[in-house]
């Protein structure tokens, strides 16, 4: 089955700096890659996703890049703010109605004021 | 996105008892899933709740321990049976809709503590 590895496990940045979180996946057939943000005590929230037919997607301060050849994808957050502090999870899945998300282990991002 | 609610939001249960968690969605959804998230850990899929048929369980999870029902396209239940302290965790319902069907959303979770 699919295996998703996520790095780093913790990341601290100064407010205003950029943050990058990286994930690698094992199954070359995977074609959907979402990112979730989970604040303490809250549910995971879908913040951005990318399908394998594109290499990059942006939404305001966040972007995701995908390298299918290398089987890795990354989350980029620019101009970080304290409210960006949370645990971020990447995931990967195959296509098809019964596809299941396989999650990475998570990255605790702390934005220091 | 769909509005997903879960009941109860939290509970403290005694060893050996069972707890049923309910998941209600405000619109019909194609897929419903149940996840477990232990403190400080990632999300682990327990099973896919299939409407009108038996759930599909992931490796390490069995129907006798985690019976699941899905009587229609908006509602599902997960029962944690014969609980032990190792079952203490957050249990999350998750759904994928009929439209924008790639996107998957999570309920608020049920925090279970077994004493």
φ/ψ of B66, rounded to 5, equals: -130, 65
Of B6, B91, B94, the C-alpha closest to B49 is: B94
Residue of A nearest to B104 (CA): A46
pLDDT at A68: 93
Q: Read off the pLDDT of each residue in B83-101 and give the average, rounded to a whole number.
A: 89
Q: Is the pLDDT of residue A26 over 90?
A: yes
pLDDT, tens digit (0-9, with 9 covering 90-100), for B94-112: 998 766 678 899 999 999 9
Of A60, A88, A44, A51, the C-alpha closest to B35 is: A44
**CB–CB of A34 and B103 under 8 A?**
yes
pLDDT, tens digit (0-9, with 9 covering 90-100), for B25-39: 998 888 899 999 999
Residue A32 forms contact with B (CB below 8 Å): yes
A95 contact partners, CB below 8 Å, separation of at least 6: A31, A32
Residue A89 forms contact with B (CB below 8 Å): yes
The C-alpha atoms of residue B107 and residue B95 are separated, in whole angstroms, by 8
Residue of B30, B36, B42 best to disrupt the A interface, most CBs of A under 10 A: B42
B67 contact partners, CB below 8 Å, separation of at least 6: B78, B79, B81
Q: Detail the DSSP E strand segments found in chain A.
A: 4-7, 10-14, 19-25, 32-38, 45-51, 56-59, 62-67, 72-77, 86-92, 102-103, 107-112
Cα-based torsion angle of the residue sequence B4, B11, A9, B93 in order, rounded to the nearest 10 degrees: -30
pLDDT at A53: 80
pLDDT at A90: 98
pLDDT at B102: 81
Of A104, A103, A33, the C-alpha closest to A67 is: A33
Of A97, A84, A73, the C-alpha closest to A18 is: A84
Other beta carbons less than 10 A from residue A12's beta carbon: 13
pLDDT, tens digit (0-9, with 9 covering 90-100), for B31-73: 899 999 999 999 999 999 988 888 999 999 999 999 999 999 9
A28 contact partners, CB below 8 Å, separation of at least 6: A68, A71
Distance between B8 CA and the closest CA of chain A, angstroms = 15
φ/ψ of B103, rounded to 5, equals: -80, 135
Q: What is chain A's length?
A: 113
pLDDT, tens digit (0-9, with 9 covering 90-100), for B7-16: 999 999 999 9
């Amino acid at each position: 089955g699919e295996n998703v590895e996520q790095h780093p496990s913790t990341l601290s940045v100064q407010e205003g700096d950029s943050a990058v979180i990286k994930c690698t996946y094992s199954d070359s057939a995977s074609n959907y890659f979402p990112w979730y943000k989970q604040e303490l005590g809250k549910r995971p929230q879908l913040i951005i996703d990318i399908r394998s037919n594109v290499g990059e997607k942006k939404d305001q301060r966040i972007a995701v890049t995908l390298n299918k050849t290398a089987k890795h994808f990354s989350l980029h957050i620019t101009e970080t703010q304290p409210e960006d502090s949370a645990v971020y999870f990447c995931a990967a899945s195959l296509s098809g109605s019964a596809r299941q998300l396989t999650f990475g282990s998570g990255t605790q991002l702390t934005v220091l004021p | 996105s769909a509005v997903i609610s879960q009941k109860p939001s939290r509970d403290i249960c005694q060893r050996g008892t069972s707890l049923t968690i309910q998941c209600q969605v405000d619109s019909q959804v194609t897929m419903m899933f149940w996840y477990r998230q232990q403190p400080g850990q990632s999300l682990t899929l327990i099973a896919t709740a299939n409407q009108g048929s038996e759930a599909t369980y992931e490796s390490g999870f069995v129907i006798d321990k985690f019976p699941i029902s899905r009587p229609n396209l908006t509602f599902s239940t997960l029962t944690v049976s014969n609980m032990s302290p190792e079952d203490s965790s957050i249990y999350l319902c998750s759904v994928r809709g009929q439209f924008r069907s790639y996107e998957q959303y999570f309920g608020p979770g049920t925090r279970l503590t077994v004493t």
